[in-house]
Structure 1
Amino acid sequence: FGSGMRHGSTCGAVTGALMVLGLAGKGADEATALMRRFREKNQVLDCANLLRLAKERGEERKCHCDRMVYEAVELLEDLLK
């Protein structure tokens, strides 16, 4: 789901995490919690703005995107306990 589905929309790491929650039988509460917690850590959910913020911090794109995936996985692990 790279580059926000290739048009700068919701971060692919978030989209993938939401898909996993659905496959695990979780509902709207868990999905909302995931998005809220991700936004608390990163300010926004959309790829375009996440990349803009990363660039402002001087973070390289690959490092930034890898970090987004790790953060989404950590949130998933917590929500799936």
Structure 2
Amino acid sequence: MRNKLVVEIYGQQFHLTGKASPSHMRQVANHVDEKMQEIADKNPKLDTTRLAVLAAVNIADAYLKLKQEHDEILHLVEDEEP
């Protein structure tokens, strides 16, 4: 089952479709919007495209750091198992 949802990110409406719950899709959209707003507050002259790319880079950076931590924890747990 695919869910459809209209969200607003940085003042623009987007139609999202996905298998995730509407609540999760809304949370993702809110995270992107917040990141774009945060960057825009610090760099008011950036256009929307650059804001979106910088938000994507920041979100990807956070994801990769968390993934690395997760992988390290899994490795530690695997090493401790008999």
TM range (shorter): 0.3 to 0.5
Quick check: which one's strand share is greater? 2
- Tell me which structure has the larger Cα radius of gyration: 2
* TM-score normalised according to structure 2 size: 0.38
Which structure carries more helix by proportion? Answer: 1
Answer 1 or 2: higher relative contact order, Cα 8 Å, separation at least 6: 1
